[in-house]
Chain A
Amino acid sequence: MNLQRKIQQLLKPLSQPLLAVLIGLFTGALAIALIGESVIDTYKVMWDGAFGNFYFLTATLARATPIILVGLGLAIAFRAGVFNMGAEGQMVLGAVCAALASLYVPGSGFVKLLSAFLAGFLAGGLWSLLAGWMEVKYKVQLLISTLLLNYVAVLFAGYLVAEPFQDKSGSAALAQTPMIDQAVWLPKLFTGMSVHMGFVIAVIGAVVLYVALQFTSSGYEVRMLGKNPFFAEYGGINKSKVLLFSMFFSGGISGLAGTVEVLGSQYRYVEGALTVPGYAWTGLMAALLANSNPLGTAAAAILLAALQTGAMGMERNTEVPLEIASVIQGVLILFVTAKFTLNWWKVKKKASDINGAV
Chain B
Amino acid sequence: MELFDYSFFASAIRMVSPILLAALGGALCARVGIFNVGLEGLILAGAFSAIVGNYYSGNVIVAVLTGAFGAVLVSLLFGLATIKFKANPIVAGIAINFLVLGLTTFGLRAIFQVKGAFYDKDMNGLPKWDLPFIENIPMIGRFLSGHSPLVYTAFIAAILLYIFLFKTVLGFRILAVGKNEAAARSLGLKVTTLQYGAIIASGVLCGLAGAQLSLGQVTMFTEGMTAGRGFIALVAMMLGQSHPIGMIGSSLLFGLMDAMSIRLQGFSMPTQFTAMLPYVITIIAMFFLKDRGVDSQASGQQSSR
CB-defined contacts of A332 to chain B, threshold 8 Å? 95
Q: Which of A31, A141, A337 has the most CB of B within 10 A?
A: A337
A156 touches B (CB below 8 Å): yes
Nearest first, the 4 A-B pairs at minimum CB distance are A326-B102, A330-B99, A337-B87, A327-B102
Q: Are B95 and A334 in contact, with the CB atoms below 8 A? A: yes
Chain B interfacial positions (CB closer than 8 Å to A): 77, 81, 85-88, 90-92, 94-103, 105-106, 109-110, 115, 228, 231, 234-235, 238, 270, 272-273, 275-276, 279-280, 282-283, 286-287, 290-291, 295-296, 299, 301-305
From the candidates A135, A145, A330, A340, name the one contacting B304 in the complex (CB within 8 A): A135
Q: Is the CB of A226 within 8 A of B276?
A: no
Binding site for B on A (CB under 8 A): 31, 34-35, 81-83, 134-136, 138-145, 147-149, 151-152, 155-156, 158-159, 162-163, 226, 229, 239-240, 243, 281, 284-285, 288, 321-334, 336-338, 340-342, 344-345, 347
Are A140 and B290 in contact (CB-based, < 8 A)? yes
Q: In whole angstroms, how far apart are the Cα atoms of A141 and B228 in the complex?
A: 20
Q: Choose among B85, B115, B290, B299 the residue that contacts A138 (Cβ–Cβ < 8 A).
A: B290
B73 to chain A, nearest CB (A): 14
- Secondary structure of the B side of the interface? helix
Q: A152-B280, A334-B87 are in contact. Are A325 and B286 (CB under 8 A)?
A: no
Main DSSP-derived SS at the A contact region: helix
Q: List B contacts of A149 (CB < 8 A).
A: 279, 283
B302 contacts A344, C-beta separation under 8 Å:
yes
Check if B102 sits within 8 Å of A82, measured CB to CB.
no
Residues of A within 8 A of B86 (CB): 338, 341-342, 345
If A142-B301, A239-B304, A337-B92 touch, whether A324 touches B102 (CB-CB below 8 Å) is yes
Is the pair B87, A329 in contact by a Cβ cutoff of 8 Å? Answer: no
CB pairs A–B below 8 angstroms (18 shown): A81-B303, A82-B304, A83-B303, A135-B303, A135-B304, A140-B283, A142-B301, A144-B295, A147-B231, A155-B273, A321-B110, A323-B103, A326-B101, A327-B103, A329-B99, A330-B102, A332-B95, A336-B91
Cα(A4)–Cα(B283), bound, Å: 52
Give bound CA distance, A243 to B86, whole Å.
26
- A333→B78 CA distance, assembly (Å): 12
CA–CA, A83 and B89, complex, Å: 12
